[in-house]
A and B are shown apart, each in its own frame.
Chain A
Amino acid sequence: MTPRQRRWIFLVAGAGLVAFYLWGLLGLPGFGRYPGPYGPAILRVVVAQTNATGVVSAINFDYRGFDTVGEEFILFVAAAGVATVLRRLRGERDRPAVDEAADRDVPDTSSAVRMVALLSVGPVVLAGWWLASHAQTNPSGGFQGGVMLATAFVLIYLSGEFLVFKRFSPVDLTDVVEAVGAAGFAAIGVSAVAMGLPYLKNYLPLGQVPGAVSSSGTIALISFFVGIEVAAAFILIVGELLDQTLLIRRYSSGRGG
């Protein structure tokens, strides 16, 4: 199809599909009138059963924890896929590592940016750690904390220190940490199976105070593993993407393009 044909065909067909979709959407109960019963059923029992006040994390890591195992491994696979696709290939070699790409027209990193970025690294790490350890309390959790931890590393790169970034996050180490995080989560479930309990049963002590840091059994532990896995995965992905620009270069007699 030519682009023009495609646009017109899509406008017609797309209008039909959207009309069909709207026809169905208008059959919903109406915004604000959620009928249940899944939500109320969980809200009724969650604090008593898990001692967690962060209900969404309790669902993610306990009630529907098995979904989260799958999702963890989706992230794992994505990081592995990025590493596979962007690895150094035959016909390419590492050029001498530089902090900034020589063939790009980039302004020098100003001292203000450098200072602010480096100074923020510590607080960001702390904030990420705090988020990852408070999943059972408030709207934080392993994912949120892990992403913040990853951005701390990206801040190092942004401050103009790509080489430092690479030294702190070697591919092999982040690979291992990521695998440990993902496997740790799955293994917590297996440990329940080893004890004769259903997979991912919350068998650790639930603590006294709902929502305290040391409460809610396996939820806090799972959140920790999720945090390190997510952090490692994103550091790996960002590192690979940066490598392409700053580190890897094709031989000049490359194949077309």
Chain B
Amino acid sequence: MQVFPFIVVAWILAVGLYGVVTSRHLVHQIICLIVVQSSTYVLLLGVGYVTGAVAPYFFDVPNHTPAVDPVVQACALTDVVVEAAVTALLLSFAIQAYKRFGTLDPQELAALKG
């Protein structure tokens, strides 16, 4: 199936966005943001795959064995760290929101704030 991984990418994005938009709980919303980001991982790793090739590590295979694209893997690694950083920051906001507002519902946050 040559397009199946990409259909999965679109599905994950859709599910994540749906979760963010219909969420009633801040932590759930932040996790759905992670899901949205995960669609980009699948996309990155999916476009770099080469059928029949090995992982791009040459300590146990000869030097010029055909390998999958290493650049997207490096990009995905960067993205994981970026996402972890953003999530940590957002979760700390959520903790403070709970302390200040007493609720984690985005709609009630807006109402209480005025």
- A103–B88 Cα distance when bound, in Å, is 25
Q: Which of A1-39 contact B (CB under 8 A)?
A: 3, 6-7, 10-11, 14, 18, 21-22, 25-26, 28, 30-34, 36, 38-39
A241 in contact (CB, < 8 A): yes
B window 71-105: CB within 8 A of A = 71-74, 77-78, 80-82, 84-86, 88-89, 91-93, 95-96, 98-103
How far, in whole Å, are A86 and B88 apart by their CA atoms in the complex? 12
**Is B59 within 8 A of A82, CB to CB?**
no
Q: Are A85 and B92 in contact (CB under 8 A)?
A: yes
Given A32-B2, A60-B74, A14 and B92 touching (CB < 8 A)? no
A residues in contact with B55, CB < 8 Å: 139
Residues A14 and B17 in contact, CB atoms below 8 Å apart: yes
Is there an interface contact between B1 and A10, defined as CB atoms closer than 8 Å? no
Task: Evaluate contact between B88 and A85: CB separation under 8 angstroms.
Answer: no
**Which residues of A, 83-126, contact B by the 8 Å Cβ criterion?**
85-86
> Is there contact, CB below 8 Å, between B96 and A31?
no
A151 at the interface (CB under 8 A from B): no
B18 and A75 within 8 A (CB): no
Q: Given A14-B14, A53-B57, A244-B95 in contact, is the A32-B77 Cβ separation under 8 Å?
A: no
- Interchain CB contact under 8 A, A18 and B13: yes
CB distance from B11 to the nearest CB of A (A): 8
* Chain B facing A: main interface SS: helix
Give the residues in chain B near A237, CB-CB below 8 Å.
88, 92
Rounded to whole Å, the gap between the CB of A31 and the closest CB of chain B is 5
Within the assembled complex, what's the spacing in Å between the Cα atoms of A230 and B81?
9
Chain A interface main SS type: helix
Q: Which residue of A lies closest to B58 (CB)?
A: A53
**Which residues on the B side are within 8 Å of A33 (C-beta)?**
2, 50-51
Distance of A11 Cα from B71 Cα, bound (Å): 35
Cβ-defined partner of A47 (8 Å) among B21, B24, B47, B63: B63
Q: When the two chains form their complex, are residues B22 and A74 in contact, meaning their CB atoms are under 8 A apart?
A: no
B89–A256 touching, CB < 8 Å: no
Q: Assess whether A137 is interfacial by the CB under 8 Å rule.
A: yes
- The reply to whether the CB of B111 lies closer than 8 angstroms to some CB of chain A is no
Q: Contact string, B19-54, partner A, CB cutoff 8 A, digits 1/0?
A: 001101000000000000000000000111111000
Q: Could you tell me if A25 and B9 are in contact, using CB atoms closer than 8 angstroms?
A: yes
Report chain A residues within 8 Å CB of B77.
56, 60, 141, 143
Chain A residues whose C-beta falls within 8 Å of the C-beta of B67 in the assembled complex: 39, 43, 55
* B70 in contact with A39 (CB, 8 Å): yes
The reply to whether A257 and B70 form a contact with Cβ atoms under 8 Å apart is no
Contact check, B78 vs A18: say whether CB atoms are below 8 A apart: no
* Contact A22 to B10, CB < 8 A, known contacts A55-B67, A74-B85, A138-B59: yes
Contact flag A56-B73 (CB < 8 Å), given A31-B1, A85-B93, A256-B102: yes
Q: Residue of B at shortest CB range from A11? A: B18
Q: How far is the CA of A137 from the CA of B48 in the complex (A)?
A: 21
15 cross-chain CB contacts under 8 A: A3-B24, A10-B21, A18-B14, A39-B70, A47-B63, A56-B74, A60-B74, A67-B78, A79-B85, A81-B92, A82-B92, A137-B59, A211-B59, A241-B92, A257-B101
Q: Would you list the 4 A-B pairs with minimal beta carbon distance, nearest first? A: A257-B102, A39-B69, A78-B85, A32-B51
